[in-house]
Amino acid sequence: MLSVDNPYDKMSDLVIYEMTDGMRTSTRREGADAYFDGGVFSLRLLHILKLLGCRACYVNVIEERHRFRENYISIFEGLRRLYAMYEQYADENKVRLRFLGDLEAKLEPQGMAGDFSKNLRDLEERTDKNTAFTACFLVNYSLRWAMKNERLFDDLPDINTIVRHTKLQVPTDMLPPPSKSDYSSIVYVQQGSSSERWSDSQLIYLVAVALRCMMLNYGTQYLRIYSDKEKEMIRSEREDRSHLVLKDLVGARTQSTAEYPSRSNPKRIIMAGPFGPEIYTI
């Protein structure tokens, strides 16, 4: 249905940067419960990526300026509650956890005791020898910090697909340095990254669309040279035919909400290839 040839052969090349968002507005969960739910979404997604043969992913968690938001205490409490879950998962599945950001700073909200930064550094050290998968989390992160500490990215894979939830924008300060993300393409997801709102099948379809995005856009930036035949074909598809793909992926298989509960909770995903946008309902 997605016209991806030999997907499992390409899956190991897929490196997603999952830009989570919409936890407060996607469910009726409040406070730390909403952010905890978002952390469960990220854990489920990285587990599916691992099972499908990917080798790494990136996830945004806390940008430096988040610490000045009025609800930061909820963000932090949700993150702290997730620690034991991620620790157990990494140990049981041989996953390497990397935390990218200013962990010399105190992450606790003002007046709260503890040293969560040290806890994250310790967890990173304990999982450093795990080889099954690498999950990189941007915590107290900014692009300005990354550019000053770019050596910390040297052994990490390049991102080729950015998955952005709820807002069709990519805040510059949440981007990895160009050396890691300059050849990436964007997949937009209308719905928020709330675990309770996503089925396993929907997460698998999300990965499949991200894979298609990577494959269609591979090599199109910067140095690509087009033959006359390619230029004419692209011009015809993009300019004359107003290329647009609309696909209901689950509906193409079944209309049964009993077999596929996502039919009553659909997601809309938009990506673009060389010819134009493709919109998928999953």
120 shares its domain with 140: yes
pTM above 0.75, yes or no: yes
Work out how many domains the chain is built from and give that number: 2
In this predicted structure, what is the pLDDT of residue 256?
41
End of a domain among 188, 217, 246?
A: 217
117 shares its domain with 243: no
Surface-to-core class of residue 266, CB atoms within 10 Å of its CB (0-12 exposed, 13-18 middle, 19+ buried): middle
End of a domain among 194, 217, 240?
A: 217
Asked which of 59-68, 96-105, 136-145, 261-270 is least confident by mean pLDDT, the reply is 261-270
pLDDT tens by residue, 203-220: 999 999 999 999 999 888
66 within a domain of the structure (yes/no): yes
In this predicted structure, what is the pLDDT of residue 258?
42
**Would strands 161-165 and 185-189 be described as parallel, antiparallel, or unpaired?**
parallel
59 shares its domain with 132: yes
Q: Quickly tell me which residue has 């992160």 as its tokens.
A: 141
End of a domain among 166, 191, 217?
A: 217
Query: Over the range 42-58, which residues count as b (16 or more CB within 10 Å of their CB) and which as e?
Result: bbebbbebbebebbbbb
48 shares its domain with 123: yes
In this predicted structure, what is the pLDDT of residue 224?
84
Average pLDDT, the chain: 92
Instruction: Return the percent helix, strand and coil in the chain, to nearest 5.
Output: 45, 20, 35
138 shares its domain with 263: no
Query: Angle 116-126/72-93 helices, nearest 10 degrees?
Result: 20
CA-CA distance, 9 to 132, in Å (whole number)? 17
pLDDT tens by residue, 109-152: 998 999 999 999 999 999 999 999 999 999 999 999 999 999 99
51 shares its domain with 125: yes
In this predicted structure, what is the pLDDT of residue 180?
96
Range of the domain at 95: 7-217
132 shares its domain with 66: yes
In this predicted structure, what is the pLDDT of residue 240?
83
36 within a domain of the structure (yes/no): yes
2 within a domain of the structure (yes/no): no
Question: In the chain, where does DSSP find H-type helix?
Answer: 7-10, 23-26, 31-52, 72-93, 116-126, 143-148, 178-181, 200-217, 228-235
Average pLDDT over residues 226-239: 89
pLDDT tens by residue, 156-205: 999 999 999 999 988 899 999 999 999 999 999 999 999 999 999 999 99
222 within a domain of the structure (yes/no): no
74 within a domain of the structure (yes/no): yes
Q: Quickly tell me which residue has 């909400």 as its tokens.
A: 257
223 within a domain of the structure (yes/no): no
Average pLDDT over residues 240-266: 66
Q: What is the band of 6 on the pLDDT scale with cuts at 50, 70, 90?
A: confident
CA-CA distance, 47 to 267, in Å (whole number)? 20
Greater confidence (192 vs 250) lies with 192
119 shares its domain with 190: yes
